[in-house]
Amino acid sequence: MNGAECILRTLKANGVDAVFTNPGTSEMQLVAALDAVDGVRPVLGLFEGVCTGAADGYWRMARRPAATLLHLGPGLANGLANLHNARRAGSGVVNIVGDHATRHLALDAPLTSDIAGLAAPMSHTVDTLENADAISRATADACARAKSGGGAISTLIVPADLAWSPAACAIETAAAPGDPDAPEPSRLAAAADALRAGAESVMLFLGGRALCEDGLAAADRIRRATGCRLARPTFNGRTPRGRGRPAIDRTPYLSEFAEQFFAGVSTLILLGADEPVAFFAYPDKSSRYFDDSRAVIAPAPTGVDPLAALQELAERFPGGDAARGDAGGAGEHPGRTSGALTPDTIGLSVARRLPPGAVVVDESITSGLSLPAHTEHAAAHEWLDLTGGAIGQGLPLAVGAAIAAPDRKVLTLEGDGSALYTIQALWTQARENLNVTTVIYNNRSYAILQMEMLRTGANAIGDKAMSTLDLANPAIDFCGLARSFGVDAARAETAEGFDDLLAAAMERPGPFLIEAMI
């Protein structure tokens, strides 16, 4: 067994069995080893951002890490933007990055670069294999690190000589991360006291690990007992929503609306989420919503499982233990939309057509501002946000979500500008025949920037400025792009047309793209 095979066997032994890859020469031993190791599935991306975004989507649905396999510094660099999103989602990813053979590095051959330096800003840990006898140990540790703290970015650099040299080591598994710290009773008591006293002026702010079905049920119990509000960050890794599930309000993206959203809150209780702040700063505006006149309580500081803290907190409110699962109300199927195609009619169609258990990947940017309201009573579904604001996440995220959850329909709601950073993901959707429907909101512009331009205090938008914000010249044919990558596609120009296409796509397995001309 050489080092490469040892790495793959160790990944498999540690529960990592999907590898999203765009390999090069320095990774050829790892590629060859794929055939020697059963049960590790390689998935090829045409661009590394597809691979890292897919690994993020995989974690969000499977709750265990996938690996990426990337080519040297530039290959890793191409994947960093979606690693940034994965890091902000709290996803666990094991990046395997090939490097030149150790003896080759000193020669500074053209592809040489500082891989560890590139990896550090977007990784929680970066390690480089150095010892042929410790390859399995180091790989197992990298897997364990990806699972630690509820999910982390773990990067392992593999010099080519360690991949091709004999590695006689036994395959190791790394101990799961140690038990998290127990919640401190005093913090829980403070939160409980505030909840009892504050009613609707207290907001339970849930995100990350606390915002699962169990966490939502616990939070809803507290809400029933105290009248508190439930809210979540604008961007959260995965949020269970829809009929039969307790409703939780999403923080508005626009800070003007977020300020109103938080206006009546005297006490904010954070569980799995940080204190919400504005996404960007603007001249003459504060970036913080919570100044020192309001209380912010964090019952689960670093090291404490926020879900456990939330559940313990809920146990202090037995009065809220009403029938679980009906808090969201039944809602009404929206009627069939008609007329002009708009973000609102799309939202209504999505609410009507979404099949139970669907996964919604949301990178709809400005076009999606009303989506949360429209879809609140859709069939139960999982909602995956653009967590780090690095656009180009949606199509790759759908790849990984579909591979992790092959029995679910994945629906990607995607802005035209955002789609174009990682449009190559469509090819992987075709190649793997993934059950993904992509809706492109084609407004022929970076609409959010036209809005932000005014919000940042810039004056009227001149011709040259506008030339950097519009995508109309020439118009981009998303159906043509999809078909060229092997994904069937159709264009919708009316609300009825979109509704028909979406209904058919929800019934049809495999990938499909709808270009929505809004």
Total site size for its own copies, rule CB under 8 A: 99
Shortest distance (Å) from residue 486 CB to its own copies: 3
Is 253 strand, coil or helix? coil
Is 382 strand, coil or helix? strand
Shortest distance (Å) from residue 308 CB to its own copies: 24
Q: Which residues contact 448 (CB under 8 A, 6 or more apart)?
A: 365, 366, 415
Between CA 385 and CA 404 the distance in angstroms is 17
H-state helical runs in 210-320: 213-226, 255-261, 306-315
The answer to whether residue 84 forms part of the interface with its own copies (CB under 8 A) is yes
Between CA 127 and CA 464 the distance in angstroms is 46
Four-residue CA torsion sign, 335, 248, 408, 489: positive
Q: Which residues contact 107 (CB under 8 A, 6 or more apart)?
A: none
Nearer to its own copies, 69 or 194 (CB): 69
Q: Which of residues 310-339 bind its own copies (CB under 8 A)?
A: none
Residue 411 in tokens: 């629906």
Nearer to its own copies, 86 or 203 (CB): 86
Q: Which of residues 127-186 bind its own copies (CB under 8 A)?
A: 160-161, 164
Which of 173, 260, 264, 288 is in the footprint of its own copies by CB under 8 A?
A: 288
The answer to whether residue 375 forms part of the interface with its own copies (CB under 8 A) is no
Nearer to its own copies, 189 or 475 (CB): 475
The answer to whether residue 252 forms part of the interface with its own copies (CB under 8 A) is no
Between CA 44 and CA 486 the distance in angstroms is 15
The answer to whether residue 195 forms part of the interface with its own copies (CB under 8 A) is no
Which of 63, 113, 132, 244 is in the footprint of its own copies by CB under 8 A?
A: 113
The answer to whether residue 488 forms part of the interface with its own copies (CB under 8 A) is no
3 state SS for 128-181: ECCCHHHHHHHHHHHHHHHHHHHCCEEEEEEEHHHHHCECCCCCCCCCCCCCCE
- Strand pairing class (410-415; 381-385): unpaired
Q: In this chain, which stretch among 34-42, 58-66, 350-358, 373-381 interacts with its own copies, using CB under 8 A?
A: 34-42
Shortest distance (Å) from residue 337 CB to its own copies: 28
Nearer to its own copies, 275 or 507 (CB): 275
Nearer to its own copies, 107 or 170 (CB): 107
Q: Per-residue DSSP letters for 1-21? A: -BHHHHHHHHHHHTT--EEEE
The answer to whether residue 31 forms part of the interface with its own copies (CB under 8 A) is yes
Q: Which residues contact 177 (CB under 8 A, 6 or more apart)?
A: 144, 147, 148, 149
Residue 134 in tokens: 């410790």
Q: Which of residues 423-482 bind its own copies (CB under 8 A)?
A: 423-424, 427, 430-431, 448-449, 452-453, 455-459, 461-465, 467-469, 471, 473-481
Which of 42, 244, 357, 497 is in the footprint of its own copies by CB under 8 A?
A: 42
Q: Per-residue DSSP letters for 256-286? A: HHHHHHTTT-SEEEEESSPPPB-SS--TTS-
The answer to whether residue 368 forms part of the interface with its own copies (CB under 8 A) is no
Nearer to its own copies, 205 or 485 (CB): 485
Nearer to its own copies, 199 or 475 (CB): 475
The answer to whether residue 420 forms part of the interface with its own copies (CB under 8 A) is yes
Q: Which of residues 7-26 bind its own copies (CB under 8 A)?
A: 21, 23-26
